[in-house]
Structure 1
Amino acid sequence: MKDQQMKEFKNYSISDIKKYLQCHSSFDNIFYQQLLLDPRKGVQQAAKQWKRNADKIKEVQAFYRTHHIIEEENYQKGFQMIAGIDEAGRGPLAGPVVAAAVILDPQCPIYGLKDSKQLSSKERLRLFNEIKAKAISYSISYQSAQQIDQINIYEATRRAMTMAVEQLNPVADLLLIDAMTIDTNIPQIRLIKGDDRSNSIAAASILAKVTRDELMVQYSEKYPHYGFESNKGYGTAEHLRGLKLFGACPIHRKSFQPVTNFQ
């Protein structure tokens, strides 16, 4: 159906009109009002759905812009390779802490980015793949439970973040880090609740979270007594019950309570 032909849309079937609307995401209010006047309920419903989709697109785009202000301000200062850094897994009783660094492409926005904890597993996986496909550069690193026990969780997290930054190619010229600082000569900005303020940090949180969750699912096959596939190493009732019955396994953090009681 050609655009000019839509002026006579009453001559077309509901199916043709739906196909036309699916191919035109930009919203035209005048055309929308004309569709609402069509006596066919199917056309009216299609028009309302078209408007809901258009409103949702606007909302998502606006959310992205408001969470890219820090990046935009620093682009204007001359920085070009701005990396967001975040981690996943500081609190669990088992498994590694995972850190990710991401340099987003300002010419290729990824809509839907937000703190990974605010997303469903399905949304995280979709964004995980989109980030890897569209980012200028990304890197994922981790520190094992044994390394956490040796140097403590805070230092292990900083080390994982530093490693992720060092592995970026191209390298970053500015770092936006969620609530932490690391040892580096690259300028850095520490942002409290950064994954809720910066798209770059949100992207890093998604890469770290999905990577760690997948690792814990793999570990659950090797150590099936703790429910790692569902609790991801956090101290749920199922996990604590497994500790009491079977003791700690090799990926437990022996320096964490109550794991120390079940070695």
Structure 2
Amino acid sequence: MESLLPPDYDIVVCGIDEAGRGCIAGSLFVCGVILSPNIPLALKAQLKDSKSLSETKRNMLAPLIQRFSDFYLVKKTHQEIDDKGLSLCLQEALKEILQNLKAPKYIFDGNCKFGVDLLQTLIKGDSKLPCISAASILAKNAKDKEMIDLDTLYPQYGFKKNKGYGSKEHLKAIKDYGYCPIHRISFKLKSLM
């Protein structure tokens, strides 16, 4: 199905995406991106959903995206998520992005606005709009870097590989060693009960 959006639609909006929502360890990162009208077409063509790109490719694209965009990245720690809940953290992060990036439209990947009135949503937006793809890449890049750093502090959990998600090996490590200080203890893991 052909898109009804004009070709430059993504330049006049702020695309927003997150990384780490489904993690059981580490922070949540939410990023807003307004692509520059001067972004090279070759770079724009490489912007895809971060999950479809290798970590190496994301690491290569992240500084280029930063160079050719206005962006704002919000980090919500595991402690904030445990204290306030994931939904409130997402709402706060989205509001912070809207306060710090000025755009005629804000489009968040997914189908939930988390109570933020000025926000529009687009399911699978990270594979449909380059500005949301760019936000997805920057958020995922920040999440990956955090987990690689945390892996040096807590190597037994395999954060460098699992990035904080509940892989079989990660869940086994929690069974063997218990939670470490950066686990989200508010997330109830059925497999550990």
Q: 1:252 aligns with which of 176, 183, 186?
A: 183
Q: 2:18 aligns with which of 81, 87, 97?
A: 87
TM-score, normalisation: structure 1: 0.65
Please tell me whether Structure 1 or Structure 2 has the larger radius of gyration of its CA atoms: 1
Q: Distance in 2 between matches of 1:219 and 1:212?
A: 11
Q: 1:142 aligns with which of 75, 87, 100?
A: 75
Letter in 2 for 1:69: L
Encode CA deviations 1:168-201: one digit per residue, 9 max, x unaligned.
Answer: 3xx223101112325556x432111111111111
Higher relative contact order (CA 8 A, sep 6+): 2
Encode CA deviations 1:201-240: one digit per residue, 9 max, x unaligned.
Answer: 1100000000000001111111222000110111112211
Residues 243 and 196 from structure 1, CA distance in 2 versus in 1: closer, same or farther, beyond 3 angstroms?
A: same
Check if 1:228 corresponds to 2:171: no
Aligned to 1:127: 61
Residues 209 and 228 from structure 1, CA distance in 2 versus in 1: closer, same or farther, beyond 3 angstroms?
A: same
Q: 1:174 aligns with which of 102, 105, 109?
A: 105
Q: Distance in 2 between matches of 1:92 and 1:132?
A: 25
More strand by share: 2
Q: Distance in 2 between matches of 1:231 and 1:88?
A: 13
TM-score, normalisation: structure 2: 0.86
1:98–1:140 contact (8 Å) kept in structure 2: yes
Give the count of matched residue pairs: 188
Residues 178 and 94 from structure 1, CA distance in 2 versus in 1: closer, same or farther, beyond 3 angstroms?
A: same
Tell me the CA shift for residue 257 of structure 1: 2.2
Gaps of 5+ in 1: 1-65
Aligned to 2:97: 164
Gaps of 5+ in 2: none
Letter in 1 for 2:119: Q
Tell me the CA shift for residue 258 of structure 1: 1.9
Q: 1:198 aligns with which of 116, 129, 132?
A: 129
Letter in 2 for 1:123: K
Identity of aligned residues (%): 36
Tell me the CA shift for residue 104 of structure 1: 0.4
